[in-house]
Structures are given as structure tokens and as C-alpha cells.
Structure 1
């Protein structure tokens, strides 16, 4: 699957799934614009892959506009920026809500808007891929705001697919299971916590960041030209059983 001659914007590129996506797109020939908050993460990624980098806070509307303008008109947008604040339902805070919804949902919607405007001005075409989560489909303790953000992004994906389809822009979402980023590896290292979740995965493992990145590239590729408005679980069968 070659991406020679293509260009992509990837948010949340400093670590985890976003970083793996930048690495894989670069390996397969794409020009990638990597966006993250932490300059040191971007510097190491640029040295590793040769990608272009932009440090930005995507909860800030002016930063979103600046970022899309600086990135230029690209073929693909991968909305991978995400965070979580663990809070019980009875104790959720406005600060936690604003943090999670601001990064997971608001930034994705307005990045998509500005990316799509540029694509339409260029004659249409291209694709948007929104990274969501199985938490948008199943209830996990202390994940209310996170679940709301991911379920909301899947709903928005369908609306974008409907409205942007006439412009040749495909919009899909991808819902990973627990993915073994550095933070997740620490969070799920306790067998008492991980084993009850593991047994619900028919493949008997959690996802690696490379599993998710490969699926992102598949959804972006022209091989999926008739797929839009879809949510692809990358969950080792979790949602099927």
C-alpha cells in the first residue's frame, strides 16, 4: 500500500497511535505534517521520519486555523489527538469535561472543518479518519466524559460523511480497543485489572500501536474508495462477543 505523492496531517502525533501513524505513512512515501503539543516529541519524530512538524494547542481555535494554513492543502487528515481524565459519574468536574471534550471532540470537529474547506477549495477529494474508541460503545467505569467524546465523534463522522461526500471527501472512524501505548502499558500492567478485559478479546491480546496505524492507512487508501461514514472496530473481536 503506497502513499507516494500523497500528503497527510496527523494530530496527536507526538506519542502512541499518532506517532506510529506518522512513521508508517512516511515509510510508505507520504509527506506528513505531524501536529502535537510537545516540541521535543516533534523534534525526535522529525529526525526519525523527515516529516514536517507543527507545535500547537488544538483546543484553541486560532491555533487550529494557523495549523491548517501552515500545513497547506493535504490529501488526508487523521484526528488522533486525545486525552482522558478518570472521574466517577458522581464526581465529574467541569474542568475534566472541558479538557476531554476540548481535545477529543472540539479539536477534531474544527480541524475537520478547516481541512474540508481547503479540500473543497482545491476541487474536492481526500479523506478524514477520526480515531475513536470502544469506550464509545461499551460502558467503562470513570470514562463518562471520554465515552461521550468518542461517541460524539462517531456521530459527527456520519454527518461529515453525508455532507462532504458530494465533494468527494470520505470520512470514517476507527475504534480501537485498549492499545499498548507507554501510558496504557503502565495502566494495564496489573493482571487483576488486565485479565478480565483480556478474556473478552478472542485474539487473546490487546492492540499494539502498529495494529491501529495499519488499519488507519487501510481506511485512508484508495482501496476503500466506497467506504464512508463507517466505524471500523480494531478491537480483536471485543465488540463481537
Structure 2
């Protein structure tokens, strides 16, 4: 992926300060893109931006946003676009998970997951995508989940939110494709971030999941980032409206 360059491209990455988002930020900075990093922790974002600028010589700005706030998606779209005078690429990555049995689900927990994982990214993508269409095109890459494609126990709200996000992305592709905006989603299995390792680190929990993955392992953040970089680039100019599993074959069976 070192051969893929995004010099001159203006990119917004949500959920950028840790986990998959942090790896995405480094990957896109290495490719020469100008970045707007978003997340809840402003101080962490500022430090991350400073480090990426020093390491890769690209412009990186921090725009904090709490996507559980109903007004945040539209406001973030405007604030991020204002940094560079527009956006060429949106990496829609922010999300949360509260594993629970259906029998233990509370309305508040369900609403929080749907707000952050579906409402916020769908509205952000629609707002950014509409602006891209007016300006001649762009690329939206949304990090969904293999849980959007296969049911996962103890993830009722999470599966619901990610499945909705995949379909929202397909509608974006259908409506905005004629105006030069591509929209695609990534559907990784468990990714070995700090959160992923915490949730799936116990062998009793991980073993049944690993048994369903033909390659016999979970994914690494760099494998998600590399696929996102490809989809965002001109190499994927004819790829629109797809959901790509990054799952070692988990969704085959």
C-alpha cells in the first residue's frame, strides 16, 4: 500500500484518536493526505495531529465532536469542510459497542448505540456526500462490521446499527454515484485493537468465534486501514456500493 498516494486529498476521519481510527490516521498521513481528525478527546487529537505532522510532513488538524449529540454530525461536516475549504474523502469510522443479551437490553443502551453507530455516521455521510456531489465528487468509506452481515450473540443493538449503516451506504452509492461520489463500507470481523482484545481476549469467548473463521485468526487494524486506503483512492474508481468483509472467511459459512 506504500505505492498509493493521496497527495492533495482532503480527508476527514472520525473516531480517529484510538483503535482502528488511529491506524487509519497514520495510514492516510503516510499516503500524503491532508487530514481532519475527529473524536471526543480534543487533547488527544491535538497531540495525535502534532505527531503525524512531524512524522509525515502533512497538514493535520483536530476537530473534536461528540457524535452522541444530535446536532454533532451536521456541525462536524461544516467544521471539517471549513478547515481545507472542502473534503475529498470521508472515513466514517467512529462507533461504540455495549455487548448485552437481548433479555438484558435497556432502551437507553439501545438508543446510545443506534445514535452513535447509525444515526451519526449516516447523517454525516449524507451531509458530506451532498457537499462532495456539489463540488464534483469524492469517496466515502464507512467502517461497518461483519456483524452487519451475520448475527452475533450479545450484540443486538450493535448488529442492528451496523446492518442499517451498510444499507445507508448503498443508498448513498445509488443516489450520489451519478454525481461522482462513491460510497462503500468495510465489514471487519473482530479487530485486535485495545477494545477488541478486551472484549474478545478470553479464550472461552474467542474460541467459538475463531472456529468460524477459516483463516483461524482475528484481523489487525492495518488490514482495515489498507483496504480503506485502496477504496478511497483512484485505484477503486469503479467500486461503488459494496460492503467488503475483512473477516478471514467468517461470512462464507
TM range, normalised to the smaller chain?
over 0.9
- Aligned pair count reads 240
Please give the alpha-carbon distance, in whole angstroms, between the structure 2 residues aligned to 1:102 and 1:208: 26
Q: Aligned to 1:70, which of 68, 79, 89?
A: 79
Structure 2 unpaired stretches of 5+: 54-59
Deviation at 1:63, TM superposition (A): 2.5
For 1:192 and 1:64, the matched residues in 2 are separated by 38
Q: CA RMSD in A?
A: 1.3
Match of 1:19 among 8, 15, 22: 22
Normalising by structure 1, we get a TM-score of: 0.95
* SS at structure 1 position matched to 2:251: helix
Distance 1:60 1:96 in 2: 15
Instruction: Name the counterpart of 1:194.
Output: 206
> Which residue is 1:217 aligned to?
229
Q: Is the 8 A contact 1:56 1:67 kept in 2?
A: yes
| 1:85-124 correspondence runs (5 A) | 85-122=98-135, 124=136
SS of the equivalent of 1:204 reads coil
Distance 2:185 2:219 in 1: 17
Match of 2:64 among 37, 55, 68: 55
- What does the per-residue CA deviation read over 1:138-188, in whole Å, with 9 as the maximum and x for residues that have no partner? 222210110000000111111111100111100001000000110211222
Aligned to 1:163: 175
* Distance (whole Å) between structure 1 residues aligned to residue 133 and residue 211 of structure 2: 46
**What is the distance in 2 between the residues matched to 1:238 and 1:40?**
37
Alignment partner of 1:33 out of 32, 36, 58: 36
Aligned counterpart, 1:131: 143
From 75, 80, 83, the equivalent of 2:93 is 80
SS at match of 1:239: coil
Q: How far did 1:223 drift? A: 0.9
Contact kept? 1:35, 1:42, Cα under 8 Å: yes
